[in-house]
Homo-oligomer: A and B are copies of this chain.
Amino acid sequence: MRAPDSERLARAALSRLAEPGDPRMSSLVAELGPETVHRHLAEERDVGGVLTDVATRLRAIDPGRDLERAERLGIRFVVPGDAEWPAALGDLDHCGLVHDRGGSPLGLWVRGPLRLDALATPVAIVGSRSATSYGGEVAREIAAHLGSAGVCVVSGAAFGIDQAAHRGALAGGGPTVAVLACGVDRAYPSAHKQLLDHLAQHGAVVSELAPGCSPTRIRFLSRNRVIAALTVGTVVVEAAVRSGALNTAHWADRLSRRLMGVPGPVTSAQSQGVHQLLRSGGAAVVTRGADVAELVGLSGQHLVTDDRVPTRPRDTLRPREKQVLDAVPVHRGAGADSIARTAGIGLVEVRRVLGRLVERGLVARDDAGWRLTDAAR
């Protein structure tokens, strides 16, 4: 299935004209279709009959050339109507605005072999750019666990938690997708050029912005809604109170995706934003990859069992037996009467219970009386 070329061209043109996440554009397109919106805007004249600013700009855009150039760079433009278009993005049309941004993308520019309609249970892992080594470690562990389970890890390729998430996913042998706030032909941050090239070869690098576009603050906010919408859940690993990761978290919440937070030291500024998410009730506590796998509903084998604790001999005792055992001295043996007084249990019963404890190898009798065996200590 493939969208008509005319529609793809109109969407490519509009995507260069409008800022991503401009809710006026997405609602116009939803109402009238991309071609009609494109035609109207391109013909718009002001009262003097002069082409408006928008019309002038739109006429200068050549989407056909853009698409050709993109193709030469190995970049495809995926739009609604294409088989590859991820249906989940449609939720963005029904969940309102955050910071005046919203609506589903006009299209997504994609670089890489991973098909966007084939991401099984994708999970976003996001967090501070100025992450601590603790946060980086935890992000890597979670991503590696999800990666080894075949889950696609989605993040933003930024410094800190984002890059730890991508690298963890790769280490786990799983697919991973970076969603950028600039054109997918650009490396931002430039220090991550190798990482991004690797993702473009083995996963996917995705953006609403046409190739060549630079990142701006507002584009990061728009980008965050795509990360949240593409995934079934978002894990915030570390976030200070002002972190952009909280914006992604709000989107996940708005979109009724599973929102998860990794706790950290309450004394760490990089965990404060996460703790706010956990306190406010929106986010569930996750401490490791297995927790995340369980919460996003991966199949049965991912159900978390709490850490196994080794069974100790006394764990299998009845309460009365424990009570007597507690009253038996460690080193020098004591008489049953003394043990009965300490335990606060009658002598007859204490004698009977001591017999059972001897059978179980927990108590031994010596000349002075009863004492604990090595096994009971």
Please tell me which stretch of A62-70, A249-257, A276-284 contacts chain B, meaning at least 4 of its Cβ atoms lie within 8 angstroms of it.
A276-284
Please tell me which stretch of A32-40, A80-88, A168-176, A342-350 contacts chain B, meaning at least 4 of its Cβ atoms lie within 8 angstroms of it.
A342-350
28 pairs across A/B with beta carbons < 8 Å? A17-B344, A19-B323, A19-B344, A53-B348, A99-B319, A100-B319, A213-B344, A214-B342, A216-B326, A216-B342, A216-B343, A217-B322, A217-B326, A241-B306, A241-B309, A242-B309, A263-B263, A263-B264, A263-B266, A263-B278, A264-B264, A264-B265, A264-B266, A266-B287, A272-B287, A275-B285, A275-B287, A276-B306
Q: How far is A322 from B217 in the complex, measured between Cα atoms in Å? A: 8
A262: Cβ under 8 A from any B Cβ: yes
Q: How far is A309 from B345 in the complex, measured between Cα atoms in Å? A: 61
Residues of B within 8 A of A100 (CB): 319
Q: How far is A35 from B266 in the complex, measured between Cα atoms in Å? A: 52
A376: Cβ under 8 A from any B Cβ: no
Contact with B along A1-40 (1 / 0, CB 8 A): 0000000000000001111000000000000000000000
CB distance from A341 to the nearest CB of B (A): 9
A138: Cβ under 8 A from any B Cβ: yes
A93: Cβ under 8 A from any B Cβ: no
**Chain multiplicity (copies):** 2
For A20, the closest partner residue in chain B by CB is B344
Given contacts A216-B343, A307-B272, A346-B54, contact A267 B326 (CB under 8 A): no
A327: Cβ under 8 A from any B Cβ: yes
Residues of B within 8 A of A322 (CB): 217-218
Residues of B within 8 A of A326 (CB): 216-218
Residues of B within 8 A of A242 (CB): 309
Q: How many chain-A residues does the 8 Å CB contact rule pick out?
A: 55
User: Quick check: B275 and A263 within 8 Å, CB to CB?
Assistant: yes
- Contact among B56, B241, B278, B288 for A266, CB-based, below 8 A: B288
- Contact among B216, B342, B347 for A327, CB-based, below 8 A: B216
For A319, the closest partner residue in chain B by CB is B100
Contact with B along A157-185 (1 / 0, CB 8 A): 00000000000000000000000000000
Q: How far is A343 from B307 in the complex, measured between Cα atoms in Å? A: 52
A360: Cβ under 8 A from any B Cβ: no
User: Quick check: B267 and A285 within 8 Å, CB to CB?
Assistant: no
Contact with B along A280-296 (1 / 0, CB 8 A): 00001111100100000
User: Quick check: B137 and A267 within 8 Å, CB to CB?
Assistant: yes
A192: Cβ under 8 A from any B Cβ: no
Q: How far is A242 from B311 in the complex, measured between Cα atoms in Å? A: 11
Residues of B within 8 A of A99 (CB): 319
Residues of B within 8 A of A278 (CB): 263, 278, 285
Q: How far is A99 from B278 in the complex, measured between Cα atoms in Å? A: 31
Name the residue among A137, A265, A326 with the largest chain B CB count within 10 angstroms. A265
CB distance from A355 to the nearest CB of B (A): 16
Residues of B within 8 A of A193 (CB): none
